[in-house]
Amino acid sequence: MLGFLIRRLLQALPVLFGVSVGVFLMIHMIPGDPAELVAGQMATREDVENVRHALGLDRPLLEQYVTFAGNALTGDFGKSFRTGRPVSEEIFARYGNTLLLGSVALLIAAVVGGLAGIVSAVKRFSWIDNLALVLSILAISTPAFSLGLLLILVFAVWFSVLPMTGFDSWSAIVMPAITLSAASTAVICRIMRSSLVEVLDNQYVRTARAKGLREHLVVWRHGVRNAIIPVVTVVGLQLGYLLGSAVVTETVFAWPGLGRLLVQSILARDFPVVQASVLVVAVTFIVVNIVTDLLYGLLDPRISAQ
């Protein structure tokens, strides 16, 4: 297990390097000069050049990247162009909110999607299965911003039962979490259904039924337990997807998270915050994947023995 963990961590290094290079090059290709934004509209050409020199933007790109990467290895992401505060403070003040929203959304997706997939597999080709298919297609094909605005219209404007935006109370997380979890719920539902249908058609399941076991015991003990591994893989990937796609949801609901900070930083050409935010999301995604792989051994001892 320790050897596996070390190998996965070593494999993550090239990924992080590629992400850091990619985001560094992309943000420098964005039109607009951060020095002009920081200096202000009334600044002279000389003022802009002084700001550019102070921010280190007049140096060659390679030198800027080496400086950024070297400081990032020590946990120093520099200071925000927009606020002047340390980037680490800017990010981790919002990261917890994004992680909370993503975790709640993942819980909703795993529970609702998993149960819907199980029912669809057991009641295959029935009206319940068809309804789950239709709802899954709608959930996957509906953009997050459209679903978010629709929920705001219904529950915040028409019925006034949930707050429209912000995070002033725990009820404020309901609509963002549902919006964020919709597509993931549909994906988990379909994977759970297909995996369980395949398992229920196996010989040992028919043997269990022939022995007189009750149907719910056959489904849970012999079906779900053996069908869960592909679902665990999808759930692990979905958490990374949720953290990445939270940008749209947080913007719609004015959620004070990392995704909204990333949008604001891109608009303000705040290079240090953008670079650090993307790296934090990448690290989170890698950690979730490693934890997911470790869970395989707990769910199926045959995997850990290999």
Q: Per-residue pLDDT tens for 114-143?
A: 999 999 999 998 999 999 999 999 999 999
Say if residue 61 is in the same domain as residue 205.
no
Say if residue 158 is in the same domain as residue 221.
yes
Say if residue 174 is in the same domain as residue 54.
no
Indicate the DSSP class of residue 86. B
In a domain, 248, yes or no: yes
Say if residue 107 is in the same domain as residue 70.
no
Say if residue 112 is in the same domain as residue 163.
yes
Q: Which residues contact 151 (CB under 8 A, 6 or more apart)?
A: 175, 178, 179
In a domain, 198, yes or no: yes
Average pLDDT over residues 35-53: 85
Categorize the per-residue pLDDT at 305 as very low, low, confident or very high, splitting at 50, 70 and 90.
Answer: very low
269: how many CB neighbours lie within 10 A of its CB? 22
- Give the three-class secondary structure for 259: helix
Structural domain count, the chain: 2
Say if residue 146 is in the same domain as residue 262.
yes
State if pTM tops 0.75.
Answer: yes
Say if residue 94 is in the same domain as residue 170.
yes
Say if residue 220 is in the same domain as residue 95.
yes
In a domain, 17, yes or no: no
In a domain, 176, yes or no: yes
Q: Look at the block and give the residue holding tokens 């600044």.
A: 43
Say if residue 120 is in the same domain as residue 156.
yes
Say if residue 160 is in the same domain as residue 207.
yes
Q: What is the C-alpha to C-alpha distance for residues 57 and 291, in angstroms, rounded to an integer?
A: 39
Q: What is the C-alpha to C-alpha distance for residues 271 and 78, in angstroms, rounded to an integer?
A: 10
Residue span of the structural domain in which 112 resides: 88-304
Choose one of 76, 97, 130: the last residue of a domain: 76
Cβ-based burial of 135 (10 A; exposed 0-12, middle 13-18, buried ≥19): middle
Choose one of 76, 107, 137: the last residue of a domain: 76
The answer to whether 216 and 270 have CB atoms below 8 angstroms apart is no
Q: What does the buried/exposed string (b/e) look like for 204-216 if buried means 16 or more CB atoms within 10 Å of the residue's CB? A: ebeebeeeeeeee
In a domain, 19, yes or no: no
Say if residue 98 is in the same domain as residue 211.
yes
Choose one of 23, 42, 76: the last residue of a domain: 76
The answer to whether 274 and 262 have CB atoms below 8 angstroms apart is yes
- What's the pLDDT score for residue 1? 64
Say if residue 41 is in the same domain as residue 72.
yes
Q: Per-residue pLDDT tens for 259-302?
A: 899 988 988 889 999 999 999 988 888 888 888 777 766 666 55
CATH code for the domain in which residue 119 is found: 1.10.3720.10
Closest by alpha carbon to 280, among 84, 4, 20, 103? 20
